Chain A
Amino acid sequence: MSAVERIPILKIGDVLLASIQVDLQDRDVLALQEDLAEKITATGAHGVVLDISAVDIVDSFIGRMFATIASTSRLFDAHTVVVGMRPAVAITLVELGLTLGEVRTALDLEKGLAILAELGERAPR
């Protein structure tokens, strides 16, 4: 058994950024879910950006992770944005019949951060 691949989570301002660069095994996916939940509570971050521009396949398991991360983050008053989805991945997800629930999406990191900033302003704390 190979070791669990821990995806590094960076903190930029009050946003957490996880950039997925490897072909994810199911347990890496679960590990990322846990790590993000922990990090959100520890840092009080108000946004999560999942950068999947390097990901060439998203199946229903990985897709469900996005939805789970989004709903978990909501419990801690944080929004989740998935950025950089490739066209081939998007077309495949549509065909697969997968919807991402309350996950917001953006073309790139910059637009993703803009969405989070806007959501933060709309709901002042």
Chain B
Amino acid sequence: MSAPREDIPIGADEDVVRVRQIVRSFAQRAKLSLVDQTKLVTATSELARNTLTYGGGGTAVVELLGEGRRQGVRASFQDEGPGIPDLTLALTDGWTSGRGMGLGLSGARRLVDEFDLDSEVGRGTTVTVVKWSR
């Protein structure tokens, strides 16, 4: 049996909304509390917008995780954009290179249980987040 998973191309504004809706339904299936659902959906909304704005579009992969008795949702955002030259700076509150408030990456990291950022200048960026049920 393969784990439930969904791939969502991110190429336009409305895809950000689709990511939110699909992540929400996965979060409900993983039995996350309402607050945790909201945190995860908000984090993925930030990340999907980053993929669109800075990465020039890409793909989101949403998966349901099961580990023992706890369940979780993993969402991964991949683009082939310019990449992030300074990861530490990008994760600092208030730092922004675009139209946001500079809370996108650092804020998203505070909303999830696991956060992984992988970026190479000229090759693209992949951000993966996980939220577990309590």
Residues from chain A with a CB closer than 8 A to the CB of B17 are: 23-25
Residues from chain A with a CB closer than 8 A to the CB of B45 are: 57, 59, 61
Chain A contact residues, CB within 8 Å of chain B? 1-2, 23-27, 56-61, 63-64, 86-89, 91-92, 95-98
Query: Quick check: is B31 within 8 A (CB to CB) of the other chain?
Result: no
Name the residue on B nearest A28 (C-beta). B13
Query: Quick check: is B46 within 8 A (CB to CB) of the other chain?
Result: yes
Query: Quick check: is B84 within 8 A (CB to CB) of the other chain?
Result: no
Number of chain B interface residues as a range = 20 to 34
A1 CB → nearest B CB, Å: 6
Q: Say what secondary structure dominates the interface of chain B.
A: helix
Query: Quick check: is B20 within 8 A (CB to CB) of the other chain?
Result: yes
Centre residue among A59, A64, A88 by max chain B CB count within 10 A: A59
Residues from chain A with a CB closer than 8 A to the CB of B37 are: 88
Q: Which of B56-64, B66-74, B99-107, B114-122 contacts A (4 or more CB under 8 A)?
A: B99-107
**Structural contact, B38 and A91, CB atoms closer than 8 A:** yes
Residues from chain B with a CB closer than 8 A to the CB of A98 are: 101, 103, 107
**Structural contact, A97 and B38, CB atoms closer than 8 A:** no
B134 CB → nearest A CB, Å: 14
Name the residue on B nearest A56 (C-beta). B38
Name the residue on B nearest A58 (C-beta). B42
**Structural contact, A97 and B106, CB atoms closer than 8 A:** yes
A54 CB → nearest B CB, Å: 14
19 CB < 8 A contacts A-B: A1-B14, A24-B17, A25-B14, A25-B17, A27-B13, A56-B24, A57-B38, A57-B41, A59-B46, A60-B107, A63-B101, A89-B38, A92-B38, A95-B107, A95-B111, A96-B42, A96-B103, A97-B107, A98-B107
Name the residue on B nearest A59 (C-beta). B45
